[in-house]
Amino acid sequence: MGAPPWAIWALLLLHQAARVLANTEGDALHSLRTNLNDPNNVLQSWDPTLVNPCTWFHVTCNNDNSVIRVDLGNAALFGTLVPQLGQLKNLQYLELYSNNISGTIPSELGNLTNLISLDLYLNNFTGPIPDSLGNLLKLRFLRLNNNSLSGTIPKSLTAITALQVLDLSNNKLSGEVPSTGSFSLFTPISFGNNPALCGPGTSKPCSGAPPFSPPPPYNPPTPEQSPGSSSSSTGAIAGGVAAGAALLFAIPAIGFAYWRRRKPQEHFFDVPAEEDPEVHLGQLKRFSLRELQVATDTFSNKNILGRGGFGKVYKGRLTDGTLVAVKRLKEERTPGGELQFQTEVEMISMAVHRNLLRLRGFCMTPTERLLVYPYMVNGSVASRLRGERIAQGEKVGDVGGSRPTDQLH
H or E, element range at 290: helix 289-295
To the question of whether residue 395 is assigned a binding role by annotation, the answer is no
Mean per-residue pLDDT, 214-241: 48
**If you compute the radius of gyration of the chain from its CA atoms, what whole number of angstroms results?**
30
- pLDDT one-digit tens code per residue, 118-169: 999 999 999 999 999 999 999 999 999 999 999 999 999 999 999 999 999 9
Mean per-residue pLDDT, 27-50: 91
pLDDT of residue 285: 82
Of 17 and 122, which is predicted with more confidence? Answer: 122
pLDDT of residue 358: 74
Environment class of 295 (CB within 10 Å of its CB; exposed 0-12, middle 13-18, buried 19+): buried
pLDDT of residue 17: 43
H or E, element range at 118: strand 117-119
Q: Which CATH architecture group holds 280-407?
A: 2-Layer Sandwich (3.30)
Q: In angstroms, rounded to a whole number, what is the distance separating the alpha carbons of residues 37 and 29?
A: 14
> Do 364 and 337 touch, CB atoms closer than 8 A?
no
Q: How far is CA 324 from the centre of its chain?
A: 15
Q: Inform me whether the pLDDT recorded for 255 exceeds 70.
A: no
Q: Side-chain half-sphere of 158: how many Cα atoms within 13 Å?
A: 11
- pLDDT one-digit tens code per residue, 350-359: 554 444 567 8
Average pLDDT value for the chain = 74
Residues, the chain: 409
- pLDDT one-digit tens code per residue, 73-124: 999 999 999 999 999 999 999 999 999 999 999 999 999 999 999 999 999 9
Q: In angstroms, rounded to a whole number, what is the distance separating the alpha carbons of residues 310 and 169?
A: 37
> Do 172 and 196 touch, CB atoms closer than 8 A?
yes
**Is residue 89 helix, strand or coil?**
coil
> Do 315 and 305 touch, CB atoms closer than 8 A?
yes
- pLDDT one-digit tens code per residue, 342-352: 666 666 655 54
- Partnered with residue 286 across adjacent β-strands are 362
Q: Inform me whether the pLDDT recorded for 216 exceeds 90.
A: no
Following DSSP, what letter does each residue of 138-199 receive, concatenated?
T--EEE--SSEEEEPPPGGGGG-TT--EEE--SSEEEEEPP-SGGGGG--GGGG-S-TEEES
- pLDDT one-digit tens code per residue, 195-211: 999 987 787 888 765 44
pLDDT of residue 208: 63
pLDDT of residue 202: 80
Other CB atoms within 10 Å distance of the CB of residue 188: 15
pLDDT of residue 153: 96
Mean per-residue pLDDT, 299-308: 85
Q: Inform me whether the pLDDT recorded for 23 exceeds 50.
A: yes
Q: Inform me whether the pLDDT recorded for 223 exceeds 80.
A: no
- pLDDT one-digit tens code per residue, 48-70: 887 689 889 899 999 999 999 99
Cite the residue boundaries of each domain of the chain with CATH code 3.30.200.20.
280-407
Q: In angstroms, rounded to a whole number, what is the distance separating the alpha carbons of residues 186 and 201?
A: 8
Q: How far is CA 125 from the centre of its chain?
A: 20
Which of 41-45, 180-184, 307-311, 349-353 is predicted least confidently? 349-353
Cite the residue boundaries of each domain of the chain with CATH code 3.80.10.10.
14-198
pLDDT of residue 68: 94
H or E, element range at 349: helix 337-350
For residue 372, give the nearest of 308, 306, 328 by alpha carbon.
328
CATH assignment of 14-198?
Answer: 3.80.10.10
pLDDT of residue 339: 57
Q: Which of 112-116, 197-201, 235-239, 402-406 is the most confident on average?
A: 112-116
